[in-house]
Amino acid sequence: RQADTLAEMASSSTAADSDPDRATVVVHVDAGSLATNAGPNPEIQDGPNLHFDVARRLACDCRLQVVAHDANGAPLGVGRTTRSVPHWLLRQLKHRDQACRFPGCSRQRFVHAHHIVHWAKGGPTDLDNLLVLCTYHHRLVHEKGWKVRGHPSHAVTFLRPDGSVLATGPPPLRHEIRQRMIPDLAPSEAT
């Protein structure tokens, strides 16, 4: 009931909010799985897994945010229709990258979507051509001669203005996945 009350409070103030996306709760779920209860569990973006019944209830009466995924689970983009990154795609981008992708930077706030192949040069506004950069590193790329190469879902390479390589790996694993894959990171249970 407390969650329902919170959702109602957020909904009632959303219309007057200058940033209506602020009160959006995004649930990732495979459409087929939602109907059959088979497959990966629904999950709140950057949050816990949900039971299929809870996801279906939330889908009944909500501001529906459709996040279409391809067969590999990757969200689709908007291609060449616009240079601007829509809110739903920016959420997916932040969910994947978690922070600025520049090596050594962990900034999560004041980040921007960056087209690896600039839109003006034919680059699509798709997840496969976007990565998150903080304001400082975004400025380095656009104004100081740094370049980005690679596939953002895998490894990307940053090139200094002199052409030398500063490499980075794929986006980091989310905390709950790291805990599942590397059990030693999980907090030990009290006995």
pLDDT by residue (tens digit) across 70-86? 667 666 666 666 678 88
Name the phi and psi angles at 37, rounded to 5.
65, 20
Alpha carbon of residue 25 to chain centroid: 13
Tell me what pLDDT residue 53 has. Answer: 80
Which residue numbers in the chain have pLDDT < 70?
1-24, 31, 59-71, 73-82, 167-179, 181-191
Tell me what pLDDT residue 13 has. Answer: 56
Name the phi and psi angles at 7, rounded to 5.
-65, -40
DSSP 101-149: -STT----SSEEEEESS-GGGT--SSGGGEEEEEHHHHHHHHHS--EEE
Tell me what pLDDT residue 31 has. Answer: 67
Tell me what pLDDT residue 44 has. Answer: 82
Tell me what pLDDT residue 47 has. Answer: 81
Is this prediction's pTM over 0.75?
no
Rounded Cα gap, residues 112 and 133, in angstroms: 5
